[in-house]
Amino acid sequence: MAGTSALNRFYLLLLVLAVGGGGVLYWQTRGRGPSIPANVVVTVADTAGFSGYYLGDSAAPVLITEYADYECPACQTFDVVQFPDVRRQLIETGKVRWRYRDFPLSIHPYSRVAAHSAACANDQSHYWEQHTRLYQGQGQWAREADPTGTFREYGKQIGLDLAAYDACMKSAKYAGRIQASYDEGLKVGVASTPTFLIAGRLYEGVQNSDELKKLVDSLAAADAASR
């Protein structure tokens, strides 16, 4: 009986070591891509001359700011389903200037890396193309152990200089910019993603493009009447 108990303890120890070893291997594999630090100290250089990613005419009567997270499923739904109509109905018609701000939630481990990937694409004037690829592919890369290779492949598909992109990602030089964007969202009262700031009011959750058009038209009418 004593020999059997000792043998059982031996096999149990082997099982623990095997599971533990697998866990170490998993985390080593998961961490092989570049990481972007959170809660960094934001410097003046991080925000100098930068206040977000814009689409549309700077003279448009209405500015809409979207605070979003690339790993947020609701943000993906808005970008893929509603945003194409928003661009067509509001941005391309000159009614709205759109501003995108990163609001990476702590529950999403890859949201800052994705945001940094888009920032590096912006260095080469391909921000919105990478932005779109990230949201379209979210269902795939959000399940990967290390999605940075997928982000790089998106960059290749849109024509980025990959050597410059790799250097940008490795440097994590936009960590402060991403943190500043997040801090701005907190300051105005953002608590979830996506959230939209329109005429001083926050609108939470996925917004319907037609409802946004009604709101923008009413704001434009009120502005015209006050002149």
Q: Distance between CA 172 and CA 175 in Å, rounded?
A: 6
Ranges 38-42, 146-150, 184-188: which has the least confidence: 38-42
Distance of CA 210 to the CA centre of its chain: 24
Q: ω into residue 73 within 30 of 0, thus cis? A: no
Q: What pLDDT score does 217 carry?
A: 94
157 CB-near residues (< 8 Å, 6+ apart): 133
The alpha-helical segments, DSSP class H, found in 31-110 are 44-47, 73-77, 83-86
Q: Mean pLDDT over residues 161-173, rounded?
A: 98
Query: pTM for the full model?
Result: 0.84
Ranges 23-37, 51-65, 82-96, 115-129: which has the least confidence: 23-37
User: 3-state DSSP helix/strand/coil percent for the chain, to nearest 5?
Assistant: 55, 10, 30
Residue predicted with more confidence, 12 or 184: 184
Q: What pLDDT score does 33 carry?
A: 75
Residue type, 142: A
DSSP single-letter state for residue 61: S
Q: Mean pLDDT over residues 95-100, rounded?
A: 98
Q: Which CATH architecture has domain 44-225?
A: 3-Layer(aba) Sandwich (3.40)
Coil vs helix vs strand at 55: strand
User: Which token pair is 203?
Assistant: 């609108």
Closest alpha carbon to 169 in 131, 116, 126: 116
Q: Mean pLDDT over residues 112-129, rounded?
A: 98
Judge residue 184's burial from the number of C-beta atoms within 10 Å of its C-beta, 0-12 exposed, 13-18 middle, 19 or more buried.
Answer: buried
